[in-house]
Amino acid sequence: MKLVTQIIQISVIWLSMGLAMAACTLFGGSYSKPVERAEFDELSGRVGRLEELVKSPTSSWAPPPIPGVRSPELTPAPASGPLVTNPRRSKYWTRYQRALSQVRSRRYAEAAAAFEAMLAEDPTGPLAPNARYWLGECFYARGDFSRALSEFQQGIVDYPSSAKAPDYLLKMSYSQSRLGDGPGAMESMRRLLDSYPNSDSARLVKSGRSRF
């Protein structure tokens, strides 16, 4: 489209030059007159620049507008989709890593407090699904299976499309089993296999390595 517009502009300029030359000839004029010569030179220069642009379509030079000639409207490019936020660029990334370190060190109370603070401040951020999962893990590791189940259930409600969703269901099943709710544990396992059959958690169950 841009190349067609440039060719049209060249044609219009040549037409303008032809009309100017015809007018001068008709009225006995001469191209040696200062004003006419300047106009002719200016038009010639613009034609030369446009011809160079057509030969090199990748050039970034844009021709000046021609009086009385409106360039065709260009269709704007479609807006890009929303940007995916990189969790590593989140301001909570350092805090999140510190809390994970506390989990590995079995400092579950400190880690739980850190994850709770993050969720309170940024419940919809890129690290929220992971923070919710590890908060549940902190309670599970401390033997508070009722609170762990609550956190995993909240995670599947709030972040059903997150990468942690299958893990929520798996640990829901574990927590329910620990609480003596066999039917509930089996239902959570069924949901995991039906909704996320290709997830690592589902493969763990299918392989038989998953144990209540």
Q: What is the CATH number of the domain that holds 102?
A: 1.25.40.10
Rounded to an integer, the average pLDDT of 75-99 is 61
Weakest mean pLDDT among 77-91, 106-120, 169-183, 185-199: 77-91
Shared domain for 109 and 44, answered yes or no, is no
Q: Is the pLDDT of residue 12 over 50?
A: no
* 69 found inside a domain: no
Q: Is the pLDDT of residue 173 over 90?
A: yes
Shared domain for 26 and 109, answered yes or no, is no
Neighbours of 95 (CB within 10 A): 17
Which amino acid, one-letter code, is at 7? I
Q: d(Cα 85, Cα 44) in Å, to the nearest integer?
A: 52
Shared domain for 51 and 94, answered yes or no, is no
Q: d(Cα 171, Cα 134) in Å, to the nearest integer?
A: 11
The closest alpha carbon to 49, from 37, 39, 64, belongs to: 64
Residue 144 tokens, joined: 């508070």
Shared domain for 48 and 95, answered yes or no, is no
Give the percent of the chain with pLDDT over 90. Answer: 53
Residue 178 tokens, joined: 């620990």
Rounded to an integer, the average pLDDT of 151-176 is 97
Predicted local confidence at residue 45, as pLDDT: 52
Q: What is the DSSP letter of 90?
A: S
Expressed as residue numbers, the domain containing 174 is: 87-207
Q: What are phi and psi of 30, to 5 degrees?
A: -130, 145
Rounded to an integer, the average pLDDT of 139-162 is 97
Q: Is the pLDDT of residue 175 over 80?
A: yes
Which amino acid, one-letter code, is at 52? E
- Which regions of 73-123 does DSSP assign to beta strands (E)? none
Shared domain for 115 and 162, answered yes or no, is yes
Predicted local confidence at residue 207, as pLDDT: 86
Q: d(Cα 155, Cα 136) in Å, to the nearest integer?
A: 9
Give the percent of the chain with pLDDT over 70. Answer: 56
What is the distance of C-alpha 114 from the center of its chain? 28
Predicted local confidence at residue 30, as pLDDT: 41
* 65 found inside a domain: no
Q: What are phi and psi of 73, to 5 degrees?
A: -70, 135
Predicted local confidence at residue 208, as pLDDT: 76
Sign of CA dihedral 179, 181, 186, 192: negative
- Whole-model pTM: value is 0.58
Predicted local confidence at residue 80, as pLDDT: 30
Q: Is the pLDDT of residue 25 over 50?
A: no
Shared domain for 191 and 101, answered yes or no, is yes
Q: Is the pLDDT of residue 162 over 60?
A: yes
Predicted local confidence at residue 40, as pLDDT: 42
Rounded to an integer, the average pLDDT of 196-208 is 92
Neighbours of 197 (CB within 10 A): 12
